[in-house]
Structure 1
């Protein structure tokens, strides 16, 4: 095996070094001795002050080069030919707090990732040895020129993201799940892809809403988006995750004010009790809380709580009333909610109403509940704070890292394609960093 050259040090390059989070990069190391073991390592210091890392073990080729997009990793947090493994296989460094989840809070700044090359096949103690070379890269949710606007009006709280360019654009009302609060990163990314996106904080952690107030909030929020001068008023869709999907289906079926052009529902269900989507869902959950199980790690499994829903018509949104195209995206290993069973029941109900042509279903094996934008780390179990903010525990979401990550990449491509087909007549102009 050759020795490291003293005259020409190894060169590490990442292209592009500044990109949107859903864009691929290419990592190459050159000027290595041929046939030498090398470790590629990524490190991110999160806004919560935790460190996340991933690494792969490579052997340089006859030219003394490693190309992550083309070469196999023989060990590490991922194996095989994985161009983006240094991102999607990230995990908290050994000794970190339990139940961590990596989420960008300040979307106006990039996620900074340090990519380094180390001599040999290293599996621990990265901070204790000097890398051969390092590059700091930027991963953005917000493309240059995207505007971020705080909305606090008519009892509605949220953030509006407007794409760069003259407009007007299609709009998306973006709704997250049962953890509550304002989660902006998906909306920022959707705006970077050409949609005016309005993420709604429909309840703060610890807040209860009455049914009449909550419906009014969604209708007002949809109206604020639809009436914005940069939005094409008849091309507004709704995008929901988890509880946000239940709300999405409820609004599309029951609201006389909201007429979405299309809906995307990720890891959602059509179950709720009468009296509004939020109040009803929480009542239903408390009623069935005796059905919560725990696994061998004492992580909570909630999926059984929702299993009875499909047999009780009074606890379901009448999805047969939905009159717009709807995309359902689910993971077959969802441990939080029986989303696949719900999707099958939704398909039956829509077929009975003669609406099956409006429904597109995608589901992925070994994939959990938290289907995020591509190259986000997989979170099988994370700390969860109940909406009344009095209980903290680790929730099991499900999924296996590699298939879950593949699903996130494929689902995002299908979601963008579905939105483009239903909200744009002409091909969308893709933002580039």
Structure 2
């Protein structure tokens, strides 16, 4: 007669294998030579959502190397690596287990994603840009290798757009602005909306963040204001009316709650976001600012020029007035920002709102071990000393890669929570 315990073990193994159909090489065995299994809670997910990974089928105390591989938009391979010891049940849960060595050190379920490094070059000088950004998903392949066992692998899909989310490219003619409009699936109830713009890098770098916001239900418009066709080539004499045009376009969308339209600006873009919130309180109802400034600075890269204009006149240098802001303000900064004093300015923004007896929620979130790269959404690998896209100069942004990753993982949910608090 077959041993009852043996039957139970075989049934449990078969059940686990069925649950992992389509997962690549997988198995359920603690015997030497059998493959390990890579278990995930979501094989397909949004790019800003964590994936919970477990390695099973090992012996107690067995060493396993878990790797991550992805290809960037230039076809270059990026890799992460972490070595673990299995627990008494022959399992490694990445969320709660610190690797003994690898590309990251503390327990972090998404460490293999943000700690990836380019196959060639210094990771501190490089950033991972997925292929087909916004046009399609990208893939990350996980592997598990243990001595004497065949390797296991599993490919995960990371999406920019949730089901039904649309992306419409806007151009100066006929839209009046240059950017990308992302709208939640048709039929989604009205939600707060976000107008996004970046800093001195130019272009439209916050489009991925806008796509993810729309995927969470919030209409979002990311705009470029220089460094794109038809726009100025430098941060110089940018009219605030340009952003107001974009805000009105976003407010008119069927899924937008026009009473809760916020501006989100990063670095130099924080100046525009705060100016808009104060100059157009009937249109812009608060702001989220990353690595912010509390004052108007000169143009860039020509520091003798004026950055912003309104009504055809230069917006003068000096503190940004905040006495007319009509919505919440969240200022997020890295405590180790080496580009400019954003922690000081984030606190100053809150102090000025306090002094103006602003009735809306406002706070500064200064995150340790992070630099100017404190935002926005988490889990993409990025260095702390990149070449500036406009000047080409190597720039020390401060912070560390683990510090920035932790800050993004903490800061992004704060943005989503703020928007959720304004819904309904």
TM over 0.5: yes
Q: Secondary structure of 1:248's match?
A: helix
Between stretches 219-228 and 345-354, larger displacement belongs to 345-354
Deviation digits for residues 168-218 of structure 1, max 9, x if unmatched?
33221111111111221000100011101011111125714763x622211
Aligned residues: 378
Distance 2:192 2:363 in 1: 20
The answer to whether the 8 Å contact 1:156/1:221 transfers is: yes
**Aligned twin of 2:376:** 372
Distance 1:28 1:143 in 2: 25
Q: Secondary structure of 1:138's match?
A: strand
The answer to whether the 8 Å contact 2:197/2:204 transfers is: no
Residue 115 (structure 1) aligned with residue 142 (structure 2)? yes
**Aligned twin of 1:264:** 288
The answer to whether the 8 Å contact 1:169/1:230 transfers is: yes
The answer to whether the 8 Å contact 1:50/1:96 transfers is: no
Q: TM-score, normalised by structure 2?
A: 0.81
Q: TM-score, normalised by structure 1?
A: 0.80
Superposed, 1:321-332 pairs within 5 Å as: 321-332=324-335
Residue 169 (structure 1) aligned with residue 180 (structure 2)? no
Structure 1 gap segments, 5+ residues each: 121-128, 274-279, 288-312, 426-433
Displacement after TM superposition at 1:93 (Å): 2.7
Residue 318 (structure 1) aligned with residue 336 (structure 2)? no
Residue 151 (structure 1) aligned with residue 175 (structure 2)? no
Q: Secondary structure of 1:360's match?
A: strand
The answer to whether the 8 Å contact 2:183/2:219 transfers is: yes
Superposed, 1:20-99 pairs within 5 Å as: 20-95=46-121, 99=125
The answer to whether the 8 Å contact 1:43/1:114 transfers is: yes
**Aligned twin of 1:253:** 278
Residue 351 (structure 1) aligned with residue 373 (structure 2)? no
Superposed, 1:213-362 pairs within 5 Å as: 214-255=239-280, 259-272=283-296, 280-282=298-300, 285-286=303-304, 314-355=317-358, 358-362=361-365
Displacement after TM superposition at 1:3 (Å): 9.4
Deviation digits for residues 246-300 of structure 1, max 9, x if unmatched?
11001111247x6222211111113225xxxxxx44378458xxxxxxxxxxxxx
Q: Secondary structure of 2:95's match?
A: coil
**Cα gap change, 1:340 to 1:63, in 2 (>3 Å):** closer
Match of 2:211 among 185, 188, 208: 188
Displacement after TM superposition at 1:233 (Å): 2.1
Distance 2:187 2:353 in 1: 38
Distance 2:124 2:317 in 1: 39
Displacement after TM superposition at 1:102 (Å): 1.8
Q: Secondary structure of 2:349's match?
A: helix
Distance 1:210 1:394 in 2: 22
Distance 2:118 2:80 in 1: 9
Displacement after TM superposition at 1:101 (Å): 1.4
Distance 1:281 1:347 in 2: 25
Distance 2:360 2:248 in 1: 27
**Aligned twin of 1:124:** none
Stretches of 4+ moved more than 3 A in 1?
A: 2-6, 94-98, 208-211, 283-287
Deviation digits for residues 101-153 of structure 1, max 9, x if unmatched?
12345213112111001225xxxxxxxx9961111111112112111111123
Q: Secondary structure of 1:232's match?
A: strand
Deviation digits for residues 275-331 of structure 1, max 9, x if unmatched?
xxxxx44378458xxxxxxxxxxxxxxxxxxxxxxxxx9422212332321111111
Distance 1:23 1:87 in 2: 11
**Aligned twin of 1:307:** none
Distance 1:62 1:337 in 2: 49
Distance 1:283 1:406 in 2: 31
RMSD: 2.7
Superposed, 1:104-143 pairs within 5 Å as: 104=130, 106-119=133-146, 132-143=151-162
The answer to whether the 8 Å contact 1:172/1:237 transfers is: yes
Distance 2:86 2:403 in 1: 27
**Cα gap change, 1:98 to 1:314, in 2 (>3 Å):** closer
Deviation digits for residues 10-60 of structure 1, max 9, x if unmatched?
222332111112222122222223322111111111012222221111112
**Cα gap change, 1:217 to 1:29, in 2 (>3 Å):** same
Structure 2 gap segments, 5+ residues each: 1-28, 306-315
The answer to whether the 8 Å contact 1:271/1:281 transfers is: no
Q: Secondary structure of 1:392's match?
A: coil
Distance 1:362 1:227 in 2: 31
Displacement after TM superposition at 1:227 (Å): 1.3
